[in-house]
Amino acid sequence: MEKKQFTSFYDTHVERIYRFVLYRVGNRKEIAEDLTQDIFLRAFEAFERYDPEKSRSSWIFTIARNCLINHHAKQRPGVTLEEIESSIFASRDDRQRLCDQFDEQALLEAVNALSAEDARLVRMKYLEGWSFEDLEEVFDKASATLRVQATRAVKKLGRLVRHPDEDVRKI
């Protein structure tokens, strides 16, 4: 890909990547901005080598994931993305920081109560703004399947918000 096309690529993905990072660094804006800048710098340097046949979203997502793992690894060596995912909004402080802004503590806690894959799908689809087509390669599933899975996950969320004590496995 020609580097001249990078700004349009940046325009399409910057908000999603920023949110993707923001939720995974405990809603700390400064860190999210630094990491977003770092992710796009890496993407820019590799942009000419990028194969346009592949999904752009999946490509930038991979860079973002690696950057995040590097960032967390500095504090805790050997960390994986799954561990990072499971830690999103896990600490009370993180949730509090986000809820001070959004007043949606119950909802975010309900997202955390979903199964790992459902929670990840809900975050990426509804909180970060990826399309089902973008998520095909990330989840290695067809977009139609992801659509059904997301619908079910949101239904579960609705019930969890109304009945927070309910066991998610029984829903």
Partner 1 sequence: MSLWPISYRLFRIRQRSRPDRSFVVRLRNQFAQKEGLVTRAWFSWRAVIASGSLMCSLLGATAAYAYTSDTVLPDHPLYPLRQEIESIQFSFAASNPIAKDQVRLQYLQRREHELMLMKQRNQRVPLQHVRVLLKQTKHLIKDTSFEREAATSTDRILKDRPALFVATTSTIDHLDHIDEHEKMNPQLQHLNSLVHDQAEELEREVTSMVPTSTEDVD
Can you give the binding site for partner 1, defined by CB under 8 A? 3-4, 6-7, 10-11, 14-15, 18-19, 22-23, 27, 29, 32-33, 36-37, 40, 44, 98, 101-102, 104, 107-108, 122, 126-129, 151, 154-155, 157-159, 161
SS3 sequence of the chain? CCHHHHHHHHHHHHHHHHHHHHHHCCCCHHHHHHHHHHHHHHHHHHHHHCCCCCCHHHHHHHHHHHHHHHHHHHHCCCCCHHHHHHHCCCCHHHHHHHHHHHCCHHHHHHHHHCCHHHHHHHHHHHHCCCCHHHHHHHHCCCHHHHHHHHHHHHHHHHHHHHCCCCCHHHC
Longest CA span, the chain: 53
What residue type is 153 in one-letter code?
Answer: A
> In this complex, which beta carbon is closest to partner 1, that of residue 73 or of residue 116?
116
Q: Compute the least distance from the CB of residue 39 to partner 1, in Å.
A: 10
> In this complex, which beta carbon is closest to partner 1, that of residue 96 or of residue 102?
102
Q: Compute the least distance from the CB of residue 158 to partner 1, in Å.
A: 5
> In this complex, which beta carbon is closest to partner 1, that of residue 122 or of residue 135?
122
Q: Compute the least distance from the CB of residue 78 to partner 1, in Å.
A: 29
Q: Compute the least distance from the CB of residue 68 to partner 1, in Å.
A: 16
> In this complex, which beta carbon is closest to partner 1, that of residue 37 or of residue 86?
37
Q: Compute the least distance from the CB of residue 7 to partner 1, in Å.
A: 5
Closest C-alpha to 70, from 31, 12, 109, 122 = 31
> In this complex, which beta carbon is closest to partner 1, that of residue 52 or of residue 158?
158
In which residue are the tokens 């590097």 written? 70
